[in-house]
Structure 1
Amino acid sequence: MSTEQESARADTASGYEVRWQPHNVKRQTMILQAALELLEEDADRSMQQVAKRAGLAKSVVYRQFDGRDDLDRRLRSHLINDFAATITTNLDISSGSIEEILHRTIDSVAEWLSEHPRQGEFARTGPTHDAPGIDAVTNLKLRVSQQARELLATLGLAIGIDAAQFSSVPFAVVTMVEGTLREWVRDPAPEKSRAEIVGDLALYSWYVLDGAVRSAGLVIDPRQELIAVVAQLSTGQS
């Protein structure tokens, strides 16, 4: 076969894959949704059961996923990516005081863990598709911690301090929040309501952040709009 013929075949195959990509994505989404429904029902998630719930032949499921392990990894990725997007929305520093940002972000975690306990436990059982070395919850904690470090770096740049000195703070706070909420969800008769445990964790998180910023010679009012605080600090105001 000539080089030109090989190139033409490659182009044809590539074009075929591109045309079928939306179709494959749609089927993968259907399959993942079926697997998620079965997970929430604590039902058998065999490939046969997933195919039946999705209304597809089992052979179709196997064309989209290599097997149960591959399906589980992609399902964890689906869960974690969706949850991470929710956290990102609540971590938006353009609106709210530090108290409000902490409270709404922690509350979103408490809401997800309390309303979807099986999803939370499933996420701990293995890795995601894109991070094979760690379980999905650890992956999420690292992602959120990195996002928080980037936010701190941006704020530090705005007010003229090196946020690298706070690099360990985000993971410490994220780990405390996740671990506490995990035990709260597992408790069949928790002493505190969701509002109470979220309020406690928001306060504890602020204590950690307050200690860190005070070590840099800064005093911040957690009840003031964060954007206003940054504006004041950037101009040298108290």
Structure 2
Amino acid sequence: MSIASSPPRTPEAISGYDARWVRHNSERQTLILQAAVALLEESSAGTDVPVHLIAKRAGLAKSVVYRQFSGREELERRIRSYLVDDFARVLDAKLDVSDGSVREILTRTIRAVADWMSDHPRLVEFARTGPTHTGDPSIDAVSSLKLRMSHTAQELIASIGQVIGADPAPFASVPFAVVTMVEGVLATWIREPRPTRSRAEIVADLAAFAWYVLDGAARSIGLVVDPDNELTAVIAGFTTATDS
């Protein structure tokens, strides 16, 4: 009895198989990362969660975890990247300049930071233990997130400056200064055994401080902005004045 040979696989079939395999691995990696984050949230033993527990929570064999990541160090870097990417998406939404006044945008963004830092202290602690998967290996994940948010804010300011015909140079250091201030103040506040100020109060204070810095930079180039006016209306007003 002869055994019929399988027909040769076409490039399209190979490409489709490879795409499915990549998607399968990506889904498994996401399960593993989500399981690790959940265990970090629950752990009372610091930031060292055993791999076998991560595998069990993800519903996978321990060997599968080791096939998806080259080792413990890569796994931890990928967990930090997952945390940074997930939180950065939240902050990007809060920084939407098409909705709200400057004060509202600052307040809701800082509130999101305060909520994450105070509600997820173990995740913050873990993020401070080392770098992300793709970031600068010399800085921890929290620092990577601060740089990322500073860059996002710089791009927003530059875009607004271009629209209204204003020089963004005086604002160059503002985003990093504000981001660093917010993270530092919140980190100190969270560590206080008995904080004298509520979360709402510390958020309001930081939003006010951030506005003072922005307002000072704006006034240095002759721009006076009402922080309680809708930002889109403020931009439209400056644009009209520039065009006239």
Considering the TM-score relative to the shorter chain, is it more than 0.5? yes
- How many aligned positions are there? 230
Q: How does 1:1-238 map to 2 (within 5 A)?
A: 16-42=17-43, 43=45, 45-133=49-137, 134-236=139-241
Residue 61 (structure 1) shift: 0.6
Deviation digits for residues 21-53 of structure 1 (CA, Å, limit 9, x no counterpart): 221111111111111111111255121221122
SS at match of 1:162: coil
For 1:181 and 1:91, how far apart are their aligned partners in 2? 19
Deviation digits for residues 109-129 of structure 1 (CA, Å, limit 9, x no counterpart): 001111101111111110000
Q: Which runs of 5+ in 1 are unaligned?
A: 1-7
Indicate if the aligned counterparts of 1:159 and 1:230 stay in contact, CA closer than 8 A. yes
Q: Kindly, what percent of the aligned residue pairs are identical?
A: 60
For 2:194 and 2:13, how far apart are their aligned partners in 1? 61
For 2:100 and 2:55, how far apart are their aligned partners in 1? 45
Amino acid at match of 1:226: L
For 1:115 and 1:122, how far apart are their aligned partners in 2? 14
Residue 15 (structure 1) shift: 5.0
Describe the shift of the 1:13–1:126 C-alpha distance in structure 2 as closer, same or farther (beyond 3 A): farther
Describe the shift of the 1:91–1:25 C-alpha distance in structure 2 as closer, same or farther (beyond 3 A): same
SS at match of 2:49: coil
Q: Which runs of 5+ in 2 are unaligned?
A: 1-8
Residue 17 (structure 1) shift: 2.9
Amino acid at match of 1:216: I
Indicate if the aligned counterparts of 1:156 and 1:162 stay in contact, CA closer than 8 A. yes
Residue 12 (structure 1) shift: 7.6
Deviation digits for residues 64-95 of structure 1 (CA, Å, limit 9, x no counterpart): 11111111100000000010000000000001
Indicate if the aligned counterparts of 2:136 and 2:144 stay in contact, CA closer than 8 A. no
For 1:15 and 1:96, how far apart are their aligned partners in 2? 45
What TM-score does the superposition give when structure 1 sets the normalisation length?
0.91
Indicate if the aligned counterparts of 2:127 and 2:141 stay in contact, CA closer than 8 A. yes
Deviation digits for residues 149-183 of structure 1 (CA, Å, limit 9, x no counterpart): 11111111111111022111100000000110111
Indicate if the aligned counterparts of 1:46 and 1:68 stay in contact, CA closer than 8 A. no
What TM-score does the superposition give when structure 2 sets the normalisation length?
0.89
Residue 11 (structure 1) shift: 8.3
Amino acid at match of 2:69: F
For 1:231 and 1:11, how far apart are their aligned partners in 2? 51
**Aligned position for 1:4:** none
Indicate if the aligned counterparts of 1:47 and 1:67 stay in contact, CA closer than 8 A. no
For 1:150 and 1:144, how far apart are their aligned partners in 2? 10
